[in-house]
Amino acid sequence: MEDEKPPPALISIDEIYEDFGLVDNTPEHAPYIDETTANYERRINELNRQVEALDEEVEKLDAENKELRNSVTNSGESMDKGDNESTSSGGDSLGNFEATFYTAFCPTGCIGITATGVDVSNTIYHEGKRIIAVDPTVIPLGTHVKVTLENGDSFEATAQDTGGDIKGGRIDVLVGSRDEARSLGRQTAKVEAIE
């Protein structure tokens, strides 16, 4: 009887069901390592959906904002030209603009040469006037203007530059340093055309 082998090992009914795919052993966190990771992934997916929805809303609001700016700029220019004559310089008012300030060399691509070819690497003046960047569809390049800032400071300037962010009712005034640009910030400026 030494040649006899023991009977084969018995397997449980659960193992048989599992072999035939009749038991769902999938953990709640599958395919992730654990339930905590699964919860994080679910939250990330939910936040990504919210970000996508907000991105769409931002695009919609940007388009509406652009339309409103264009309508305000167009209607504001015609109203300003008819209603506001400059008494101090004899020029025509171009309206109120948002004024920002920039330097000849900046992180966003300023190279010390204006769009009209003026070298401003060592000066903020051209032919005795300050240099401003403009949207040339609003203020043509080469136009001489008087700029009055909201604090009352005013100066004559010439439109010699453009910029990617300078659109519609905005001008960018060339200054000598980044510290000066930061301290001046953003402000409203009255702009008048002069000869």
Expressed in angstroms, the distance from the first to the final Cα of the chain is 123
165 or 22, which is more confident? 165
Together in a domain, 60 and 111:
no
Residue 27, pLDDT above cutoff 70: no
Distances in whole angstroms, Cα of residue 72 to Cα of each of 5, 67, 79, 134, 194:
97, 9, 10, 17, 23
Nearest residue to 139 (alpha-carbon basis) of 74, 195, 80, 94 = 94
Kindly state whether residues 189 and 151 are assigned to the same domain. Answer: yes
- Does 173 lie in the same domain as 105? yes
Q: Express each pLDDT in 44-100 by its tens digit.
A: 888 988 988 888 888 888 888 777 777 766 655 444 443 433 334 457 889 999 999
Domain encompassing residue 51: 10-83
142: left (phi over 0), alpha (psi -120 to 50) or beta: left
Q: Do 138 and 186 have their domain in common?
A: yes
113-131 confidence digits (pLDDT tens)? 899 999 998 999 999 999 9
pLDDT, position 136: 93
Q: Which residue has the higher pLDDT, 119 or 30?
A: 119
Shared domain check, 155 and 77: no
> Is 60 exceeded by the pLDDT of residue 137?
yes
pLDDT at position 121: 87
What is the CATH classification number for the domain harbouring 184? 2.40.40.10
**Which helix H or strand E contains 61, and what residues bound it?**
helix 35-83
Peptide bond into 31 cis (omega under 30): yes
In a domain, 4, yes or no: no
Same-domain status, 102 and 186: yes
**Is pLDDT above 90 for 11?**
no
Structure tokens at 67: 């339309």
Same structural domain for residues 68 and 104? no
Domain total of the chain: 2
